[in-house]
Amino acid sequence: MTLFSRANCPWSHRTRLVLAEKSINIDIVYVDGDHLPEDLLDLNPYNTVPTLVDRELVLYDSRVIIEYLDERFPHPPLMPVDPVTRAQFRLALFRIEKDWYGLAEEISTASDNRKAGRARKILEESIVSSAEIFAAKPFFLSDEFSLVDCTIAPILWRLPAYGIELPQKVKPIHRYMDEIFSRPSFQHSLTEQEQELRL
């Protein structure tokens, strides 16, 4: 299997974290700069990373990829088994992608400081307002580490790069970050560029 990834892309990062959590050995091809490799352009009509190639199968969109990886490599499972909890996890994934990843992208690509500042403020407020959910269980919505944690972690890791410092009062979120960031799979998932985001 081959994964096309960028060295500092949150969508690629969550995919690398799933790979690390499941100890899946895979070739990771890092793309850099404006020009994507020809084979990737041929494989993925949206020209995005991450893109996964597993023999004849080509997958893009990190959500499609991580759900495939969870089913193809069931241990450890990263989704609950019962339909109601699975649906709740999928809804959480949808919201985190739409809200937090959306705002993170706005901060990174904003054409002016005012727009970036507005997105920064909304992202910080949204994360802080979720403190009770972080407090309720060891992992997000769960006693077990899951695809939702794999999705949240790349955004929390990048907070300093987004210019966000969470207040000390949100202790459950600081506890959660310490827990996730010290996980061997998380450490393994980081590229050099990502390590430098929190030196």
Ligand X SMILES: N[C@@H](CCC(=O)N[C@@H](CS)C(=O)NCC(=O)O)C(=O)O
Q: Minimal distance in Å, beta carbon 70 to ligand X?
A: 15
* Residue among 119 and 131 whose Cβ is closer to ligand X: 119
- Positions in 140-179 near ligand X (CB under 6 A): none
Give one word for 23, left, alpha or beta, with left for phi > 0 and alpha for psi -120 to 50: left
11 binds ligand X (CB under 6 A): yes
Establish if 190 lies at the interface with ligand X (CB under 6 A).
no
Tell me the window of 5-13, 68-76, 125-133, 136-144 that interacts with ligand X (CB under 6 A).
5-13
Query: What tokens does 30 get?
Result: 């890092």
CB within 8 Å of 133: residues ≥ 6 apart: 140, 141
Q: Which residue is nearest to ligand X (CB)?
A: 9
Residue 99 within binding range of ligand X, rule CB under 6 A: no
Exposed/middle/buried for residue 180 (C-beta within 10 Å: 0-12, 13-18, 19+): buried
Q: From residue 52 to residue 71, what is the string marking binding to ligand X with x (rule CB under 6 A)?
A: ---------xxx--------
Among 3, 9, 20, 104, which one carries the catalytic annotation?
9
Give whichever of 60 and 134 is closer to ligand X, judged by the CB atom.
60
Active site residue 150: no
Q: Does 120 bind ligand X (CB under 6 A)?
A: no
**Binding of ligand X at residue 108 (CB under 6 A)?**
no
Helix or strand holding residue 73 (H, E): none
Minimum gap (Å) between residue 103 Cβ and ligand X:
14
Q: Choose, by CB under 6 A, the member of 3, 43, 49, 159 that binds ligand X.
A: 49
Burial of 28 (0-12, 13-18, 19+ CB in 10 A): middle
# residues contacting ligand X (CB under 6 A): 10
Contact 7, 192 (CB under 8 A): yes
DSSP E strands, the chain: 2-6, 27-31, 51-54, 57-60
> What is d(CA 84, CA 169) in angstroms, rounded to the nearest whole number?
33
Q: Cα angle at 161 between 25 and 144, to 5 degrees?
A: 45
Binding site for ligand X (CB under 6 A): 6, 9, 11, 36, 48-50, 61-63
Report the catalytic residues: 9
